[in-house]
A and B are shown apart, each in its own frame.
Chain A
Amino acid sequence: MTVRHVEQVMGTVFSIVADDGAGLPAAVSRLHEIDAKFSTYRADSPVSRMARGEAVDRDPEIAEVLRRCAEVEADTDGAFSAYPAGRLDPSGWVKGWAIEEVDRLLTAAGSRNHLIVGGGDVQARGEAELGRPWTVGITDPLHSDRYAVLVNGRDFAIATSGTAERGAHIIDPATAEPATGFASVTLIGTRIAHTDAYATAVFAMGPERGLEWVEERPGFEAYAVLPDGGTVETAGFARFLAG
């Protein structure tokens, strides 16, 4: 029995479709728990307090997230950082990781096919229905009433970084300047936490370096829309194209 759920949390909307909703209550409360701990919008969250330099009880989960952020920072030669503007903000990892937590809890409770969308980042598990892969539309950053492209897949993750809605908001940690080389860049991988964090990093790297960086990463593909409307994709992206 397919269930659908929409939850407003972490400053965005999570949309969950699952073939078995047994894990849904646990997943939803997990999202709120992560938000309470990691929110940079809630002044009283441990992460906000840490960002202000206050002493906070040691929390193994926060330590783990900061470790992951540091790994991604090293992977990306500094194009991703938990300190994007000099201030602690691990959101670039946390949202994707929260989606993975939903995936884990749904799976543990028996769901084999589900799609979790958190603020435009997607983790797909199994398939939409017997014999039909999940189909995800990538918003055209220059025409938000259109899709740039549709992708199909089973057990995949997809994340898009761009300027369409929020302007040039992704700061390249290397230069401390907003990155403007892409209108948007979409990464496809297998798990959304890395896929999302890498999408942010690739956006900061810009097209020339970013696309090459993705080509060198097994398991990841990229599709980009440039500010002039041109598009570029990695060599293996086409196998995800729908239709």
Chain B
Amino acid sequence: MRRAIVTGTATVSGVVLLLGLKPHSDTPLASKGTANNFTINQSDAAGNQPSAPSSSGASGSSGTSPQSGSAPSTSSPPSSAPSSAKSSAKSSAPSSAPAAPKSSAPAPAATTKTVTGDAAVTRYGPVQLAVTFNGKKITQIQVLEYPTETGRDQEINSYAIPQLNQQAMSAQSANIDGVSGATYTSQGYQQSLQSAIDKAGA
């Protein structure tokens, strides 16, 4: 079974994850055999690291850390505005992931556990995640399996999966409830993630 491990460090909540799994014809469901292992480690923009596991049995920790000022704040000059638009051409192009560094979020006492989500069957092949929770907070997402049947799959997924992780995690840390984007879907990623969250009772 082809496996790839992609790890991310941060957090998620009920975001919709958007991924460019573009359809291509004739892609059979993933077959077995080829190894395709790579590991990507990343931290989210806030530099959040998974809290050290502490072993208290407390389970009522809040899902998101208290944060303030987590809106994007960098700005860049507008480079070209449509000339005839009456709109204010005011720039508001914060571009870094809106996960502001937080100073002293108290780490709630919580147990760390890893839950394997259901393997979601997509038209491109199965997608399966393992999600590590510290209390209710997601500290790591590993992609156990994703479609790698074709070079195109590999190209898309080696690019998209780290970004999905990043997006998922920065979303939670910035307390974002949803994501609007012009995209294809997350399909299996979201499904497997949600099933892991459901199983964890997070």
Q: Which residues of A contact B76 (CB under 8 A)?
A: 229
CA distance A79 to B83 in the complex (A): 20
Q: Count A interface residues, CB 8 Å.
A: 66
Contact of B87 among A124, A147, A222 (CB under 8 A): A222
Q: Is B138 an interface residue (CB 8 A)?
A: no
Whether A150 touches B98, Cβ cut-off 8 Å, given contacts A4-B14, A121-B180, A139-B183, is yes
Q: Of A19-27, A51-59, A62-70, A232-240, which stretch is located at the interface? A: A232-240
Residue of B at shortest CB range from A143? B95
* A-B contact number at CB 8 A: 215
Contact of B182 among A13, A166, A226, A235 (CB under 8 A): A166
The distance from the CB of A9 to the nearest CB of chain B, in whole angstroms, is: 10
Is B177 within 8 A of A115, CB to CB? yes
In terms of DSSP, what is the predominant structure of the interface of chain A? strand
Residue of A at shortest CB range from B19? A165
Interface residue tally of chain B, by bracket?
35 or more
Q: Which residues of B contact A215 (CB under 8 A)?
A: 85-87
Q: Is A148 an interface residue (CB 8 A)?
A: yes
Is A208 within 8 A of B82, CB to CB? yes
0 or 1 for each of A107-150: is its CB under 8 Å from B? (1 = yes): 00000000101011110100010000011111111011111111
Residues on A lying within 8 angstroms of B by beta carbon are 4, 6, 8, 11-13, 15, 17, 115, 117, 119-122, 124, 128, 134-141, 143-150, 158-166, 184, 186, 207-208, 211-212, 214-215, 222-223, 225-226, 228-235, 237-238, 241-243
Is A139 within 8 A of B179, CB to CB? yes
